[in-house]
Structure formats: C-alpha cells, structure tokens
Amino acid sequence: MNHIATLETDVLLSQRLGQVVSGVTHTIGEGFTALHFSEEMFASRMDPLLMVDHFVMTAPTFAPHLHAGISAVTALFEDSQGDFLNRDTLGHNLALKAGDLYWLAAASGAAHEETPAANARVHALQLFVNLPAHLKQAPARTLHVSDQQVPVIHEQGHRVRVVLGRSGDVTGTEGTPEPLTLLDGFLQANGAFTHVLAQGFQAWIYAVDGTLTLRCQTEERSVPAGHATTVSAGEQGGLAMSASEPCHFVLIAGKPIGEPFIKRGPLVMTTEEDIRRTLAKYAKGGFGQIPT
C-alpha cells in the first residue's frame, strides 16, 4: 500500500502542469469585486507570484497603504474605462489608462493609493510579486508601461500583447527587479498560440474569458474562465494554448525564488524584526508623503 502511494506521489511531482484552481470571489463595499488567487492555493507553484486579484473597481475602496518586501503591480486590461489614479510616496501622481501597467517595487517600503476617477470602471489585475531577500531592503522604485509601448504579436488566430519580458522574437518592457514575462493574449475561435517558457522559469496561466486548453509535452489542462493553473520550472519548453471559442488569457512567468518569508498582509519580509522595523518607520513618516 505504501509503495503504491509513493508511486502516485512520484507521478504527480513529475508533472509540470499543476492543478486547475478556481478564483475566490472577494467583494468590498459596492465598488470592488475580485477573483482572488494566492500562493497557498498552488502549493508554491505560483512563485514568484504571491497573489493575483482579477478585479473591477468603480469607487474608492482602499485607503493609502504600505507595501514592503514585494512589488505591487497593476495591469489594466484594454477594456478598462476611465482613469485609474495612482499616487505614491515616491512623488508620483499618475492617471493610468486602459492597457497600462504600473510596477511599484516597494522593496524596503513605499505607500500608495489607487482610486478610480469619477465614472471610471477599472478592469485590471493586481499582482504581488515576491522579491528575493537581497532585494527586500533596496530603495523603492517604479516602472510605468503605457499601452502604446506594448508590442503586439498579431497573427492568424491570435493577438498577444507582450507587456513585460519576451515571447519569441518580440520583446516587451524589461527592467523589473527580477526578469518577468507578462502576456495578455486573445485567441479567436479555433485559434492557437505557443509560448516558449525559458529554462528555469515557472508560469501562472489564467483564463480571463472563455476556456483555454493548455498543453506542455504530453500533459494537457482545460482552464475555464475564472480559473488558473501553473507550469513548474524545468527545461525550456513550448506551452501550446488553444481554444475552440474566443478566449482571453494571461500568462505570467519568472524564476521561482524558493526562499522562506514572513507575510503580514502587504508586507513580505525575511524576519519579524524586518516587519516591526518597517512598520515603525512608516508610523514616523519615514517613507515620505503621498502627493495631494
């Protein structure tokens, strides 16, 4: 009996494609709804991602708040309506537009506030991307990618925005703290697209709309809308994505960090002392002020 159980576990661990996981509905007030995914739901196969919220926001929801030890990333979809106002303690006061991405590498600490403009309907992903220990105490910095800067792979059956990193011969914006790829893709009915996952990279793949069929060598997963799956790190290999009906998907890939961490909400540090020190500095105004 033990021998059989061990064999089954070995087979499971040898698979590169993870389980298909449904997002958890999360609602705050009348102006924010989200499907929530966290690293606990994927048994570390989501690394370097810690959290993803697929959200719609139509009213102010979150007060200004601190991040540390992570990057807080907002990726607006092209059908987002109106401006998403972003202010932070680095002095930025931006109106993010549909298709934009804003990356706050909070590192040692930074606070921000994100609020939809009047009559806006913000449709986006919010990502928490972990930082390795040697970057958690670095100065905070930001990266803004406008929709106009995003190259598009547009061929028969698919249209894929290369927001970050690269896919094939197409390179999007680089310069994130650790290399990361973010693809925002659309498949037509019976369309297909293949992304070559870099050696050592791990991927998280989400179906925004429609049902995505994902293949990796001999493995296959069907990923319905509102669900996600993972591809564990390994050799370079093709990820074949197809759909019988129109489908919108997101692929995020990076090298897993694989380090222990302590998570206290939007603070993800190496030790409890790091968290206490960061909170004390914030309480004293040590990270600056959000512009008014």
Which pLDDT tens digit goes with each residue over 251-292? 999 999 999 999 998 999 999 999 999 999 999 989 888 887
Name the one residue in this structure whose structure tokens are 């549909």.
98
- Are 195 and 239 in contact by the 8 Å Cβ rule? The answer is yes
Residues ≥6 apart with Cβ < 8 Å to 107: 68, 69, 131, 135, 136, 137, 138, 139, 140, 141, 177
> How far is the C-alpha of 239 from the C-alpha of 197, rounded, in Å?
7
Is 44 buried (19+), middle (13-18) or exposed (0-12) by CB count in 10 A? middle
Mean pLDDT, all residues of the chain: 93
Name the β-bridge partners of 58.
none
CB-CB neighbours of 230 under 10 Å:
25
Render pLDDT for 18-66 as a digit per residue (tens, 0 to 9).
999 999 999 998 899 999 999 999 988 999 999 999 999 999 888 899 9
- Are 206 and 250 in contact by the 8 Å Cβ rule? The answer is yes
Residues ≥6 apart with Cβ < 8 Å to 274: 69, 136, 137, 262
Q: φ and ψ at 7, to 5 degrees?
A: -60, -45
Do 150-259 and 22-148+263-292 have the same topology in CATH? yes
> How far is the C-alpha of 201 from the C-alpha of 21, rounded, in Å?
20
Residues ≥6 apart with Cβ < 8 Å to 258: 44, 47
Smallest CA-to-CA distance from 130 within 18, 42, 254 is with 254
Render pLDDT for 95-136 as a digit per residue (tens, 0 to 9).
999 999 999 999 999 999 999 999 999 999 999 999 999 999
Does position 4 have pLDDT exceeding 60, yes or no? Answer: no
Element (H, E) at 224: none
- Weakest mean pLDDT among 1-15, 140-154, 191-205, 240-254: 1-15
Bridge-based pairing of strands 262-264 and 267-269 is antiparallel
Indicate the CATH number of 22-148+263-292 among 2.60.120.10, 3.80.10.10, 1.10.760.10, 2.60.260.20.
2.60.120.10
Render pLDDT for 55-94 as a digit per residue (tens, 0 to 9).
999 998 888 999 999 999 999 999 999 999 999 999 999 9
CATH superfamily of 150-259: Jelly Rolls (2.60.120.10)
Name the β-bridge partners of 24.
36
> How far is the C-alpha of 126 from the C-alpha of 114, rounded, in Å?
11
> How far is the C-alpha of 108 from the C-alpha of 167, rounded, in Å?
31
pLDDT band at 14 (very low <50, low <70, confident <90, very high): low
**Sign of torsion, CA 85 89 92 93?**
positive
CB-CB neighbours of 134 under 10 Å:
9
Residues 131-154 have a mean pLDDT of: 97
Where are the domains positioned within the chain? 22-148+263-292, 150-259
SS3 of 121, please?
strand
